[in-house]
Structure 1
Amino acid sequence: MAEFSGDVGMEATVVVTPTPLTVSGSFKEGKNSSRRRQHSMRPSLDADEFMNLLHGSDPVKMELNRLENDVRDKDRELSEAQAEIKALKHSERLREKAVEELTEELSKVDGKLKLTENLLESKNLEIKKINDEKKASMAAQFAAEATLRRVHAAQKDDDMPPIEAILAPLEAELKLARQEIAKLQDDNRALDRLTKSKEAALLEAERTVQVALAKASMVDDLQNKNQELMKQIEICQEENKILDKMLRLKVAEVEKLTQTVRELEEAVLAGGAAANAVRDYQRKFQEMNEERKTLDRELARAKVTANRVATVVANEWKDANDKVMPVKQWLEERRFLQGEMQQLREKLATADRTAKYEAQLKVIIWSYSLNVLT
C-alpha cells in the first residue's frame, strides 16, 4: 500500500510498505504450501493497481485543479479590471472634452453678455438724451403758448401788427417742433422695442448663464467623480499588481507541483520496475523451488533404486551357502551410486545458494525502491 499526502506547500511523502515474500521452509507439496504461495504472490499482482492509485492520486489532481481555477479567476478579474480602466479612461476623456466645450460656450456667452450690456448702456444714454430733448421741446411749446397768450392779451389792449404775421413763424416753429417730437416719439418707440428685445436677450443670456453655471456645477461634480474614479483606478492598479504577484506565485507553485508530480511519476515508474523485477524473481524462485522438489524426488528415487540394486546384487552374488558377493565389485557399484548422490547433493546446494542470493537481491531491490520513493 502507498499513502500520499499533498497540501498547498507541496510536501509529498510516499510511504511504501514492502510486500512480504513468504518462502516455504519444507519442500513438500500440499494444500498449505500452495495457499501460502498464492498469498505471497497476491501483493506483487496488485502493483499495477498501486501504480495507478499513486499516479492518479486525488489530492494532487484536486490541488492542481484548484490552482488552475484560481489562475483562471485571477485572469478574468484582471481582464475585467483592465476593461473597467479603459472605460474609465474613455469616460474621463469625454468629460474633459465636455468641460472644454462648456468653457468655450461660457466664454462666448460672457462676451455676448458684455456686448449686450454695452449696447444697453448706449441705448439708455440715447433714451435719456431723447427724454431731455422732449422735455426741452415741451418747455419751448409751453413758452410759445404763453407768449401767444401774452400776445393776445396785448393785442386786445394795444394796436399791434396782425396776429397772423406774429403767429406764422411761431406756427412754423411749432410745426417743426411737433415733427421733431413725432420723430422723437418714433425713436422712443423704436428704443422701447429695442429695449424689450435687449431685455429678452438679457433674460436669454441670464438663462444661458444659469445653464452654464449648472453645467459648471456638473463639471465640478464630474471632476469630483473623475478624481474618485482616478482613485479607484489607482486601487485597481494596486490590486492588479497584487494579482500579478499572486499569479506569479501560483504559477511557481504549479511548476513546483508539476515537478513534484513528474518526480512522483518517475518514482512510481521505478517502483513499478522494481515490482516487476520482484515478480520475476518470485517466479524464478518458485521455479527453483519446483526444481528443488524435483531433485528431492529424484534423490529419493535414486536412494530407493540404489538400495534395491544393492539388495538385488547382494542376493545375486549369494551362493548356496549364502556367501556375500565380492567386496571389490560391490564397493565400485556403491562408489558409482555415491557419486550420483553427490551430484544430486551439489545440485541441491546450488539451488539453496541461488535461493539465498534471490532473497538478498529482493531485500536490496526493496530497500532501493524505498529510498527512491521517499
Structure 2
Amino acid sequence: MTAKTSTGLVLPKADGGTVQHVMHEPVDYPRHPAPFTSRTVLAAAHVVADARAEYTPGEAPPVDWEATIAFRQHLFSYGIGIAEGMDTSERGPGGLTWPQAQELIRLGVAAALDAGAAVVAGAGTDQLTAPRPELPQIVDAYTEQLEFVQAQGSAAVIRASHALVSAARSEDDYLSVYRDVLAKTDKPAIVHWLGTGFDPTLHGYWGHTDPLAAMDVVVRMAQENADRIDGIKFSLLDEELEKEFRRRLPTGVKVFTGDDYGYTDLLLGDGEHHSHGLLGVLDPIAPIASAGFTALDAGDEQGFVTTMNRSIPMAVKMFEAPADRYKVGTVFIAWLSGHQDHFRMVSGREGMRSLQHLADLFVLTDELGLFPDPDLAVLRMRTLLATAGIE
C-alpha cells in the first residue's frame, strides 16, 4: 500500500452521501521494454478520439492518431504487446469504420515492430453492409482483412463475426468458414471466441447456445486447423470452462485468456496448463501487470500472484455487467493518468457508466498507485464531478 498525500477531494457515495478521499502516492513501477518470456502478453488497447474535430454522427468519427500511438508506446515500455484493432478500439457501428481500422492496424503494427513488441491485429467482417450475406461473402470479407493484416507484418486475430452469426445455420457452417479463412493464413492466427457477456448479439455462435456444445465445435475446429492456429482467445468470463477448454485443445494450441475478472490464476496455471494474456484490462493496468510478469519470468510465482491479485478489485469494477462497457473505464483512466487530454470516446459512449461507477473506479485505481500525477487526476476528477453538479 502506498503512502497517502495531502491531495484529496470529496467523492459521491452510493447511499447519496459523500466521502473525503485522500490520494495515494504514485508507485514507480519499473519499465520493462522487452517482451516477457514466460507468457505472451497482449493488451487490447483503446483509441483516442479527436475531441476538437468536427463530427457528424453516423459518419467516421475523428481519431487522434498521434495520441493513440503514443499510448501504445506507453504499453510497449512496460513489455506489454498489442492486439490491435480489437473490441477495445470501438470498431463497428458508431465507432471505427473498416478504413479507420486499417489505418489503426497500419500505424499500430508499425509502432510495435519498431519497438520490438509482440503484436497481432484483428481481422473480421465489419466492412460487410448486407443484412444477410452469404457464407462465401463472409469468407471473402475475412480474407480481405486477413490479407491486409498480414501485409503489415502481423499475425491475425480472427474476430467473431456478426455477419456469420446471422448467416450460419449449423455448426458445419462455422467449421466451413473458419477452415476456408485459416487456409489463407501465412502466419498462425488466434481465433477469438467472444461470449455473450461481452456481446449479447453473438448468441448461438458456433451453432450452439450451450457453451459446452459450442466448445465441442471450437475444439474440432482447432484440431482440423492446428497447424494454422497459434491459439484461441477465450472470452466467456468462466474460469472453470477455460480450464476445461485448455485440457481439450490440441498440443501446441494456446489459450489466450479474456477473463478480466480472474486472470491471475488462469495466467499462472496449474502446473500442466496455463493461459496467455490478451486482455482489455491490460490497457489501464500495464505498469502493475509488468511488475507481475517480471516476477513470473524470474520464477517468483508468489510475487506474480500477489502483484496481479492487487489489481483484481479494480478490474472487477471496470468489467462489471454489462461487461462491454469496460471501454468507458479504459478511456476514463487514460484521461486521469494524463495519456490524453479529454474524456471522450470514439463512439461518444462515455456516458454509458454511472458517475458512481466512475468514482469507485477512481478510488480503486488510485489505491494501486497507478496515477502518475495525483494532482492532475484530482483536478480532472473534480472537473467531471462539477459537470454532474457535485462541487
Same fold, TM-score > 0.5, yes or no = no
Larger radius of gyration: 1
- TM bin, normalised by shorter chain, reads under 0.3
TM-score by length of 1: 0.14
Higher relative contact order (CA 8 A, sep 6+): 1
TM-score by length of 2: 0.13
- Normalized per residue, which structure has more helix? 1
